[in-house]
A and B are shown apart, each in its own frame.
Chain A
């Protein structure tokens, strides 16, 4: 939802927060330090006591330090580097069966106590009108525990100069290869999160994520036409080692495009992006109609995200997001029937907050629940949802699935999507073999424009690279392609998923939901998959 806000912000230069490059970037002296865990426990314990005295039957406290770093460049210039640091506490209570929440940047004992009292007062005001008290699934206290993203090299500790040198080299390579413009960014996130609850959990976590997007533009001044090709990397829950350009991460696809798995070669992708952006200027416009689509994981992640990930969020199903993000067609009666055909038998889709390297991987969610893996769609049949503690009882669960997340200490935690992924096919199947069976189709690589309705039925997706498939051969690049789909028909049109050898992740750094709006980062894995008879439209228009 909010991806474009980032794109716009990146383009605008981040307004007042423009930071220069080099040196020990803003937070260098603080990046290496953390708030003492004993202090966090002392503050959190005081808040739990204040809330309990104010009548809270449950309280959780999140003391968070959220660090972000952007290095933003265009062509031969570093526009800015931005380091942000945000520290504070969010306190959530149940009083009289209603939730209350207060957050403060004042981390003194008095400041935290005042916020705890304020959260209790808010809960009391709401309890007066509450007809259905909050029912919280049990989460046994885990005591003092620590979890950290397994990384080899923290992006926060890599000198800014090293990042700038990489991006300047990337930009130079793209311009040399025919690009007119390029914008490239390295974006690193570190969430230092401490969670304490009246259940007896004191959880300290150190979460890292990285993303290195780029946008390469080719312009034909004579015709006024321009085309953009975005980078084909994925944002990952990994350290700076993701940008090491290890040859093992390179995958050459039939037709010539190159994509990446465990390691990203940004330099090589920039050269390809420049060449392909120029190719796009002259590519033939698609003839609209029905096609068999072969979708690369660099594209399919977004379709999974929108049409399955969001659709199976239990808060949406129940109506908690009705005013903004919407509800869902995946209603409880479909789940209760145990026979709802979400997709073809080839389609097994699972949720997993433990897969290493993914954006959603954490040890515990933001209400102290240990994370895990479970099926959402099994052999085409809807079997489960994604739930948190105050929803688990509705679908007969004895405990939460651990899907709770807040994007800041200042935001209230709520149900957010786990990593939701398409299981690879169990029979051996390579992409080339899958393509070989297609008579009249389109091969789509990379994600593009995306839009879906508020119940997750009707969707439209673009992409980065489109190749026609004729009689089993990948042919010319084509342009102006978007496919329109109705979710259940689309997944029931899935006739094949390649094997685990092709399994890769895509993901979103800025998935938006909630009021006030919050972002979250989530990965989606898949192997290349084929969908038969999908409606393709032509998106070319003329402004006269």
Chain B
């Protein structure tokens, strides 16, 4: 069994609390049923379901702490896990940065669960694959895609009476469609909590259209261009930049948020005034758990307002040291934009490049958050408000900090899941000037 009801989870966690004889005890219980189907070359390649659940028990005596885990939940296993954690805690040295268990909290539930997603069957997954493969096969295109659905719960408790339980679901879909001669490639991706809002028939058409339109790409000279980044294309760029929002790193002098001569840039204008970013666990488009990994309640948290940095992440230890209030670490990121679609942004662009997706982004210099990466699966040249022709993919060397100072216009934000980070985002398509492409790629 991997999914427990609130009552069952509470019973297990209360048993753990009773078993503990330490000064403090904190425990979490997480379980999931995760299903997926993967297809390529217009056939299903792999498909599976994974059931798993895990209990983590952390106890402390003063500043000495111990943790143990188990994935068996009978009374004897629970007792063994608690005793093992206690044994470790007794033998541990004092940790000068130890923080006691959090006080009892009140969590305002967020809408992270949709029953239809939890009820997805192997037949449904196979049908999604078929709905993508069928039209592609008919149109002499080749589909390779992935659907992953997750039905999970998270429960937390501690010896100070804190308790939280919430169920979550998610559906993650992506599909790459290539022309059968390998000269064109298009991509689409969607992330949702509720599978009833998902329509494979409609989504696959976007990737098919981009695949056909991207064939026979022309080469443009590398250089600085006005770009329109679709929301998925900027998500991972922002992920890297967010790592620099750690207060301790900034205070230690090793972040772009470090101020020359010492201190950090909290309260300073670092971005264009049109940049406003916040986190909100209850956001209807991107709800996340109302607590973070430490059990601190998440809040509506302004991160950047009109270009000014409102927030750096203070761990509980660093907050205490710096006399700041520690708040729950954001689980999502929402950026304000306008009402325009990506194509509306194209219409107002004299010359530019439209980017569907970015790929293999890596940090080149953390001092400036200089990142390198490439475009892929649909890169087009824009002239006089129209998409003129497909262009070869580019490698870029660009900093999201510089990028968010070169804003021309933001469009209407949509929910995206970055490919290499767990932070759910709501991002607008972005029109930016002087984006730096440094070389051409022959990859399709």
Contacts and interface: CB of A to CB of B under 8 A. Distances in A.
B202 interface: no
Nearest to B53: A105
A88 B44 CA distance: 25
A374 interface: no
Contact of A17 (B56, B122, B133, B175): B56
A102 interface: yes
A104 B32 CA distance: 11
A90 to B, nearest CB: 8
Interface centre among A18, A123, A540, by most chain B C-beta atoms within 10 angstroms, is A18
A23 B253 CA distance: 35
Given A126-B37, A223-B260, A537-B438, A458 B362 contact: no
Contacts of A57: none
Interface string A503-544: 000000000000110000000000000000001010111111
Interface in B27-75: 28, 34, 36-38, 40-53, 56, 58, 64-69, 71
Given A26-B69, A323-B145, A453-B393, A458 B439 contact: yes
A454 B359 contact: yes
A482 B48 CA distance: 41
Nearest to B98: A20
A410 interface: yes
Given A228-B366, A541-B402, A543-B256, A130 B44 contact: yes
Interface string A167-194: 0000000000000110000000000000
A380 interface: no
A302 to B, nearest CB: 11
Interface in A13-59: 15-26, 29
A217 B130 CA distance: 52
B5 interface: no
B126 A129 contact: yes
Interface stretch (B300-308, B336-344, B371-379): B371-379
Interface in B121-155: 121-123, 125-126, 129-130, 133, 142, 144-146, 148
Contacts of A410: 50, 52
Contacts of B97: 77, 79
Interface string A318-333: 1111111011010100
A181 B252 CA distance: 9
A458 B363 contact: no
Given A15-B293, A449-B372, A458 B47 contact: no
B402 to A, nearest CB: 7
A180 B129 CA distance: 53
A480 B243 CA distance: 21
B170 to A, nearest CB: 12
Given A17-B67, A541-B368, A322 B88 contact: no
Contacts of B253: 180, 219, 221, 224, 226
Contacts of B260: 222-224
Given A104-B51, A126-B37, A484 B438 contact: yes
A105 B52 contact: yes
Contact of A129 (B28, B133, B175): B133
B240 to A, nearest CB: 8
Nearest to A480: B365
Contacts of B121: 125
Nearest to A452: B360
Given A17-B67, A224-B260, A318-B41, A219 B252 contact: yes
B58 A18 contact: yes
B66 A19 contact: yes
A466 to B, nearest CB: 13
A72 to B, nearest CB: 12
Contacts of B438: 484, 537
A508 B51 CA distance: 29
A61 interface: no
A543 B176 contact: no
Interface in A397-417: 410, 412, 414
A4 B373 CA distance: 15
A217 to B, nearest CB: 6
Contacts of B293: 15-16
B412 interface: no
A539 B365 contact: yes
Can you list the 9 inter-chain pairs with the closest CB atoms, starting with the nearest? A23-B91, A101-B48, A20-B92, A455-B443, A458-B441, A322-B144, A453-B443, A224-B260, A15-B293
Interface of A: 1-2, 4-5, 8, 15-26, 29, 77-79, 84-88, 98-106, 115, 118-119, 121-123, 125-126, 128-132, 180-181, 217, 219, 221-226, 228, 318-324, 326-327, 329, 331, 410, 412, 414, 449-458, 460, 462, 480, 482, 484, 486, 515-516, 535, 537, 539-544
Given A86-B71, A221-B261, A322-B185, 5 more contacts: A123-B47, A320-B40, A326-B376, A453-B441, A460-B364
